[in-house]
Structure 1
Amino acid sequence: MSRRSGFSKYEPFQIIGPVVDLLGVIVAGWLVYWARFGEWQLIELYWLALLAIAMLVVLVNGLHGSYQDWRTSSFAHVLLRLVLVWGGIALVVMSFLFLAHVAERYSRLWVGFTLLGSFLFSVLARVLAYQVVRALYRRGRLRRGVFLVGPQGHVLGVARDMRRHSTEGFGISGIHRLSGEPQAVDLERLVQRVEASGASEIWICVPLERGHEVQVLFRAFQQLMMDVRLIPDLKDMRLLNHRASQVAGRYALDLSVSPMAGMAPYVKRLEDIVLGGLISLLILPVCLAIALAVKLGSPGPVLFKQYRTGINGKRFKVYKFRSMEVHEESSGQLTQATKGDPRVTRLGAFLRRTSLDELPQFYNVLQGRMSIVGPRPHALAHNDHYRGIVESYMRRHKVKPGITGWAQVNGLRGETDTVEKMEQRVEHDLWYIDNWSLWLDLRIIFLTVFKGFAGQNAY
């Protein structure tokens, strides 16, 4: 199991929390300025300080986990986090003003009351959010459906605990009682039931002494897009330095959950917008020249459009410069380009070899359907073929697909004419997901510039 908490489904306050804190700092700073100086219009120096404090509040709260775990965190725990965050920010701001020798340019009363006012605003916002969200949970709204699998006694115990902890927002979408180790036919039917249930999560409620069944069940569920949790009975075990979540009053070992949590989705999206926008401007003249060359080189459209599988299995339309002669494939089939493929134009061969045909995908990045860095999106036909052959193949779709990735900078690009090649690519994609960081993305982009564009296997 990875020690990283990974990319989880958004909770309500993960989306509105940063906006609330940002707004709280700005409103508090504005009101305190009016009370202190009798003017509504802040001078530029104070606006810069206010924006810096606001960004610092959102960043530190995100890194401290204040925008996540709302289903299972008590309000006392949330409040303690806020006290620590605002106390640390106050210390940082005051230290900076002193060390930068700019303290005389700012009112200390304005700084202090701005921090105090924004803290109270955030606390009140969280009190209100807690009441609203808990009320919605009790009425059955915003619930995440859970499919329970396990021996009858353990499953019923988990179900009772879920009802006792109804304010955490989980609901039962289905139950499957195990009477023994499931056989292949039983697993196939079970997978069909889980898919038809509409559940968001699967909880494997199997005691530790029946651990082999956990492996069998997990292998059966690994091609599904639901989060998978193991709910063993660990009440009598002392866990030291291990990461386990707590849901419905039970310990849960996350076996396969969405790998983006906390501030990670926002950081990665900001990375895509900033770098993607900058790169799009830089490559615009190159794209125009390629588009003209494609149009003049052979009859047909400039762009090749094809549906691919995106994050959480959702389909989206990917864009490339057309590199082949216009042709038709048999229904439901897709033939990969091979060395010397007669369908590839002379210009197309160069574009594919240098990956210049991928440049229109920066538009997909700006749309939010792809990232600059991530697992390369495969054709739908390839997904249907390999999902039953390569273990954990579909898990690569738990993040947005990318223009470049860890597999590509390690030479695994182009044709995958053997299962072994696809297994290597998937292994690298899953390693990237488990070890994601902003610095890893920047490293991959840097390596792509020098060795990721061209490859011997790109036909």
Structure 2
Amino acid sequence: MLSTAHTDTSVHIWNGGTLARFSDAAVIAAGAVLTTGSLRISDWSGCDSALVSISILVSLMLFPACGMYCISRQRVFWRCVCVPMLAWLFALCASCFCVMALHHAYRPSIEWLETWAFVSATGVVLPRVVAHGVCLRLMGQGTRIRTVAVVGNSGHCQQLIRKVSTTRDSMYRVTAVFDTDPQAHANPPGLPTFRDREAFAAYIRNTRIEELWLAVPLSEGQTIIPFLRLFRSDLINIRFIPDVSGLTVFNASMANLDGTSAINLVASPVSSHWLIGKELFDRVFALCVVLFLAPVFLAIAVAVKYSSPGPVLFIQRRKGANGKIFNIYKFRSMRVHVEAEGVLKQATRNDPRITRVGAFLRRTSLDELPQFLNVLRGEMSIVGPRPHAIEHDELYRDIVDGYIHRYRIKPGITGWAQINGFRGETDRIEKMQGRVAHDLYYLRNWSFWLDVRIVIATIFKGLVHRNAY
């Protein structure tokens, strides 16, 4: 938080504003023009123009997803240099692939590409280093440690104090606590703790504490009013930090609803502009996989067809984002059989229904390859909660806490739960609870780089697993 108006304005201009995005687009375009002029290239083609245009478009969609319009005091070199360079190179490679896929005869000049990549990378990085330095300097000038008094029960207060004290570059220091739990015996170590409001107010005024945080549960909203009245004549910032530790919450932040402020308790965990970058990554990655692995698709299709009578693909209805039903594709790994009405039997170890080819496909996760077609159709994502059979959704949504939140984003081919060992048969409720807990962690902590990490982990350790049968 910044304490001066000019600092807020500086950060806002760079933090995802039109000026920053226009600057990036201009730098990429100017880099292409300067490169062409310096290399004295005269045969500029329509494909070259298309490559520059698509690169700008992809960059403007990808850069926000990589957090390139955020100011932070932490990991400055990574955020200002490494991330912009990697994101720009990924955007350039993806754009080259798209143009060459649309126009097979097009082959850009390697020298031109390398020079353009370097010039534009320099142009993308340097303004960020300068802007980051200026904004952090302004933040430093307007920043000082603010003393805080916290109102709440001892457990939540200690958790809040621990979070503030372990946050790097924190602007706050908790110096007093008012414990709302009369039966509590443990006080935060080293801090004066009060249970009398008048003594608490006197201490705040005598020590000139600047902020009062009301960290009480939503069910104890009546606790707020006495403190508001107690400090109605004091120049002290009073903030409401609801204790929602007993709830499964997402995006717990402030929202502006047509001029009315609201506290998000349960809302979409991924913002809409970040979803654009995730969607772009999904489509490009899936297209690359389908094109490069087309011979593998064909070979598996032939093997499945000759392994046992029946179709090549197994199609099943699943729930996607917001509970929308879609048909998921897999290579058929079982002999054709008829399930009882409303009953779904999961595959088990040494299941007699699985063919020899199917056993290999399931063990190596190759049966999941057709789901890249679901990604291209916009029904799935590369990374996300694995979609379960609809029968399992109906069973677990009422007995596993937070299960319904898996529907908030598109289901994925792989996910955080899968690379942490939660895959295969869910024959016990504990297995499903563990899987859902990992899915909720992913939803709360999603980032573009977490997706990349999961994809890499899947390639190296997630394709073959002892629970895949």
Normalised TM-score (structure 1): 0.52
Which residue number corresponds to residue 275 of structure 1? 285
- Measured against aligned partners, the alpha-carbon deviations of 1:387-417 in whole angstroms (never above 9, x if no partner) come to 0110010101111111111111111110000
- Measured against aligned partners, the alpha-carbon deviations of 1:206-225 in whole angstroms (never above 9, x if no partner) come to x99772499xxxxxxxxxxx
Report whether the alignment pairs 1:302 with 2:309.
no
Aligned with 1:252 (options 259, 262, 271): 262
SS at match of 1:306: strand
* 2:330–2:370 contact (8 Å) kept in structure 1: yes
Aligned with 2:218 (options 211, 219, 239): 211
**TM superposition shift of 1:245:** 1.5
Q: Which runs of 5+ in 1 are unaligned?
A: 1-16, 30-40, 67-100, 106-206, 215-233
1:280–1:388 distance in 2 versus 1, CA, 3 Å:
same
* 1:371–1:400 contact (8 Å) kept in structure 2: yes
Aligned with 2:332 (options 309, 317, 322): 322
SS at match of 2:291: helix
Report whether the alignment pairs 1:418 with 2:418.
no
* 2:406–2:439 contact (8 Å) kept in structure 1: yes
Report whether the alignment pairs 1:343 with 2:353.
yes
Percent identity, please. 50
- Measured against aligned partners, the alpha-carbon deviations of 1:276-314 in whole angstroms (never above 9, x if no partner) come to 111112221111111111111101111000010101110
1:208–1:410 distance in 2 versus 1, CA, 3 Å:
closer
CA distance in 2, matches of 1:337, 1:59: 39
Which residue number corresponds to residue 261 of structure 1? 271
Which residue number corresponds to residue 237 of structure 1? 238
1:54–1:373 distance in 2 versus 1, CA, 3 Å:
closer
CA distance in 2, matches of 1:352, 1:61: 37
Which residue number corresponds to residue 456 of structure 2? 446
1:211–1:330 distance in 2 versus 1, CA, 3 Å:
same
Matches within 5 A, 1:94-105: none
Which residue number corresponds to residue 402 of structure 2? 392
- Measured against aligned partners, the alpha-carbon deviations of 1:123-162 in whole angstroms (never above 9, x if no partner) come to xxxxxxxxxxxxxxxxxxxxxxxxxxxxxxxxxxxxxxxx
CA distance in 2, matches of 1:262, 1:330: 41
CA distance in 2, matches of 1:437, 1:367: 22
Q: Structure 2: which amino acid aligns with 1:346?
A: R
Which residue number corresponds to residue 154 of structure 2? none
1:404–1:417 distance in 2 versus 1, CA, 3 Å:
same
- Measured against aligned partners, the alpha-carbon deviations of 1:232-260 in whole angstroms (never above 9, x if no partner) come to xx9983369x9411325443221111122
Which residue number corresponds to residue 370 of structure 1? 380
SS at match of 1:238: strand
- Measured against aligned partners, the alpha-carbon deviations of 1:88-136 in whole angstroms (never above 9, x if no partner) come to xxxxxxxxxxxxx99xx9xxxxxxxxxxxxxxxxxxxxxxxxxxxxxxx
* 1:297–1:347 contact (8 Å) kept in structure 2: yes
SS at match of 2:284: helix
Q: Structure 2: which amino acid aligns with 1:455?
A: H
1:447–1:334 distance in 2 versus 1, CA, 3 Å:
same
Which residue number corresponds to residue 343 of structure 2? 333
CA distance in 1, matches of 2:340, 2:454: 36
Q: Which runs of 5+ in 2 are unaligned?
A: 1-17, 31-41, 71-114, 120-213, 222-227, 242-251
**TM superposition shift of 1:418:** 0.6
CA distance in 1, matches of 2:52, 2:352: 62
1:21–1:387 distance in 2 versus 1, CA, 3 Å:
same
**TM superposition shift of 1:262:** 4.2
Report whether the alignment pairs 1:434 with 2:444.
yes
Which residue number corresponds to residue 371 of structure 2? 361
**TM superposition shift of 1:263:** 2.5
Which residue number corresponds to residue 200 of structure 1? none
**TM superposition shift of 1:61:** 7.6
Pair member with larger Rg: 2
Q: Structure 1: which amino acid aligns with 2:447?
A: S
1:260–1:396 distance in 2 versus 1, CA, 3 Å:
same
1:291–1:21 distance in 2 versus 1, CA, 3 Å:
same
SS at match of 1:318: strand
CA distance in 2, matches of 1:58, 1:276: 17
CA distance in 1, matches of 2:466, 2:64: 46
CA distance in 2, matches of 1:245, 1:301: 50
* 2:64–2:274 contact (8 Å) kept in structure 1: no
Normalised TM-score (structure 2): 0.51
CA distance in 2, matches of 1:338, 1:388: 25
CA distance in 2, matches of 1:446, 1:60: 20
* 2:61–2:277 contact (8 Å) kept in structure 1: no
* 1:312–1:398 contact (8 Å) kept in structure 2: yes
* 2:64–2:277 contact (8 Å) kept in structure 1: no
1:51–1:379 distance in 2 versus 1, CA, 3 Å:
closer
Alignment RMSD (CA, Å): 4.2
Report whether the alignment pairs 1:292 with 2:302.
yes
* 1:65–1:262 contact (8 Å) kept in structure 2: no
CA distance in 2, matches of 1:383, 1:434: 21
Q: Structure 1: which amino acid aligns with 2:406?
A: R
Which residue number corresponds to residue 160 of structure 1? none
